[in-house]
Amino acid sequence: MDIQSFSWGDIALSQVVYVDGIPHITKQAIGEWLEYADPRVGVNTILKRNNHIDHYSVGVNLTSTDGKNYDTKVYHPIGFLLIVMESGQPRAQAMKVAVAEFVWHFAGPRDVSIKERNTYLREIERLTDRLATSRDAMIYKQTHLAIQHYCHLAAWPMPELTLLGKEVKQLQLGV
């Protein structure tokens, strides 16, 4: 199997192989991404304490830079995430927060009263008006985050912000 690099968003991994079209990551690459001083040792320490993660690995035969073939384990993206979740490294902490926010966004509370939902929708309208007139990047970003928050609370989709500043007559009406 050929070792490749892989990148997606903030995740850049140096050693990935594709197994059935799915990127699988070496311990070395995971440890480097987590910024351990000794990448393999850092990941091995996590794996010793968490045997269940091995269920998300597969053995492959890789050719190293010295031309020799080596049997090694590579980790499915779920295994990668489980290793990250067990790490105390700063980069791992940031990913834990991102995953928690993602889960909260899609699995958070959804039962709201009509009165609460109407309050949230009025706040979304107010914030959207503020966003439309904002010229300051920081205020724009903070207002955008507040809109996301209220949409989540109201169990309401995000407004189509690309329409901000457009006049109604500029929009094509769907029939």
Three-state DSSP class for 134? coil
Residue 123 parent element (H or E): helix 114-133
**Residue 32 to residues 24, 56, 57: CA-CA distances in angstroms?**
15, 19, 18
pTM above 0.75, yes or no: no
Over residues 85-118, the pLDDT tens digits come to: 999 999 999 999 888 877 776 666 667 788 888 8
